[in-house]
């Protein structure tokens, strides 16, 4: 029982990690008034970048390449949605399709039509001394692959930056009322670009995590809606870093339920588990999105 619970909690945190990374980036972007549907493409691009980068058996290079791929896709989105003031939803959708098509074509072109039996070594978990020996909580939170610790660092850093620096204040103001911020001499386009690049990097690392810390391989469309779920997590987390962390863990737990059910020996169609995160997203949005006062006012509007 205890071991089933421990592995369930451990799997929850592991599944939550890429969601949290992508959602923290999206949180930053949305605070600047941009809704980046292209996050799904960023995560997928990050996964593919990680595959290419890790080709020479270097996990560090894999993460760097995944991060860079995310930054490039974020920049592509910014060119259209920020600089050209094009519609953010259409741009994001087009970016997703573009990445889906490009990664699919490149993958089949580089690794053959099936691309089967392609395995990359994974990071494994990195136990934090002392902390990892706390019963139950230790293995759950402090015996995880390195990207999980990046989440722990990003949450307080993002909070501090958003609420305790002038730049953070400017970004939050851009998300509420870009016109008045311009009067104050703040370049809204510039800040939206910055946030999109940072979010691209975080989303890229999220994709790299899928390949380098979890599956150890790449599959076409392997982001499987995680970018979209991350956007929902931002709503659920009320556009706050800590809220986003909690919401991510909730989704991680929902996805990890299948391990618990398997351990318990309950027979339920596995498609139910596959569908669970998406259904949960819908239910969570229905429960929380009604109170939309907390959403940045200028969300989705060109600046």
Partner 1 sequence: MSGPISSVEAASNSGWRRRIRASLTTSAAAAIVAAAALTLLWVALRLAGFDATLALGALWRGSFGNWYAFTSSTLVRATPLVLTGLAVAVAFRAGVWNIGADGQLLIGAAAAAAVGLACGNGLGWAVLPLALLVGAIGGGCWAGIAAFLRTRFGVLEVISTIMLNFVALDLVGYLVRGPLQEPSHAYPQSNPIPADMHLPMLIPGTRLHWGFVLAFVAAAVLWWGMRSTAAGFRVRAIGANADASRIAGRIDVPRTTTNVLLLSGALSGLAGAIEVSGVTFALYENISPGYGYTAIAVALLAGLDPLGVLGTGILFGALEAGALSMQREASVPSVVVTAVEAALVLLLLALSRRTGAASIIGRLAGARNAGEETP
Q: What are the E-state strand segments in 139-276?
A: 143-144
| Cβ contact 193:36 at 8 Å | no
**CA-CA distances (angstroms) from residue 139 to 127, 129, 132, 181, 288?**
8, 11, 5, 46, 31
CA 11/CA 51 separation, integer angstroms: 23
Q: Which is nearer to partner 1, 20 or 299 (CB)?
A: 299
Instruction: Please report whether residue 281 would count as binding partner 1 according to CB under 8 A.
Output: yes
Binding pattern for the stretch 40-79 against partner 1, x by CB under 8 A and - elsewhere:
----------------------------------------
Q: Residue 16's closest CA among 299, 244, 266?
A: 244
Q: Which DSSP symbol is given to 295?
A: S
Selected binder of partner 1 within 52, 61, 98, 194 (CB under 8 A): 98
User: Cα separation of 2 and 9, whole Å?
Assistant: 10
The answer to whether 121 contacts partner 1 (rule: CB under 8 A) is no
Question: Does residue number 249 form part of the binding site for partner 1 (CB under 8 A)?
Answer: no
One residue of 24, 34, 64, 94 binding partner 1 per CB under 8 A: 94
What is the Cα–Cα distance from 194 to 186, expressed in whole angstroms? 13
Which of the 8 DSSP states describes residue 158? H
Question: Segment contacting partner 1 (CB under 8 A): 14-22, 52-60, 91-99, 156-164?
Answer: 91-99
- DSSP character for 165? S
Torsions phi, psi for 126 (to 5 deg): -120, 105
3-state DSSP assignment of residue 126: strand
Site string (142-181) toward partner 1, x via CB under 8 A: ----------------------------------------
Q: Give the footprint of partner 1 on residues 205-244 (CB under 8 A).
A: 220, 224-225, 228-229, 231-232, 235
The residue ranges that bind partner 1 (CB under 8 A) are 37, 80, 84-87, 89-91, 93-98, 100-102, 104-106, 108-109, 113, 220, 224-225, 228-229, 231-232, 235, 269, 271-272, 274-275, 278-279, 281-282, 285-287, 289-290, 292, 299-302
């Amino acid at each position: 029982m205890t071991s089933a619970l421990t592995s369930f909690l451990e799997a929850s945190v592991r599944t939550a990690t890429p969601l949290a990374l992508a959602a923290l980036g999206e949180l930053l972007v949305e605070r600047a008034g941009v809704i980046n549907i292209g996050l799904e493409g960023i995560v997928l691009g990050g996964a593919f970048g990680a595959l290419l980068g890790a080709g020479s058996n270097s996990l560090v290079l894999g993460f760097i390449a995944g991060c860079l791929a995310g930054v490039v896709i974020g920049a592509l989105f910014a060119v259209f949605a920020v600089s050209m003031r094009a519609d953010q939803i259409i741009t994001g959708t087009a970016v997703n399709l573009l990445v889906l098509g490009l990664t699919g074509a490149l993958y089949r072109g580089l690794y053959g039509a099936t691309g089967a039996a392609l395995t990359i070594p994974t990071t494994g978990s990195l136990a934090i001394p002392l902390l990892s020996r706390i019963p139950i909580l230790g293995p759950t939170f402090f015996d995880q692959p390195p990207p999980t610790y990046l989440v722990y660092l990003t949450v307080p850093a993002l909070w501090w930056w958003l609420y305790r620096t002038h730049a953070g204040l400017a970004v939050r103001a851009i998300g509420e009322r870009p016109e008045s911020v311009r009067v104050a001499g703040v370049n809204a386009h510039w800040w939206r670009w910055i946030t999109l690049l940072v979010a691209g990097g975080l989303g890229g690392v999220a994709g790299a995590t899928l390949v380098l810390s979890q599956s150890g391989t790449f599959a076409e469309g392997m982001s499987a809606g995680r970018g979209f779920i991350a956007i929902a997590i931002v709503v659920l987390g009320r556009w706050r870093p800590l809220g986003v962390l909690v919401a991510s863990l909730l989704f991680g737990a929902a996805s990890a339920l299948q391990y618990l059910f398997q351990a318990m020996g309950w027979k339920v169609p596995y498609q139910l588990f596959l569908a669970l995160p998406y259904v949960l997203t819908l239910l969570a949005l229905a429960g929380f999105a009604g109170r939309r006062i907390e959403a940045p006012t200028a969300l989705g509007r060109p600046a």
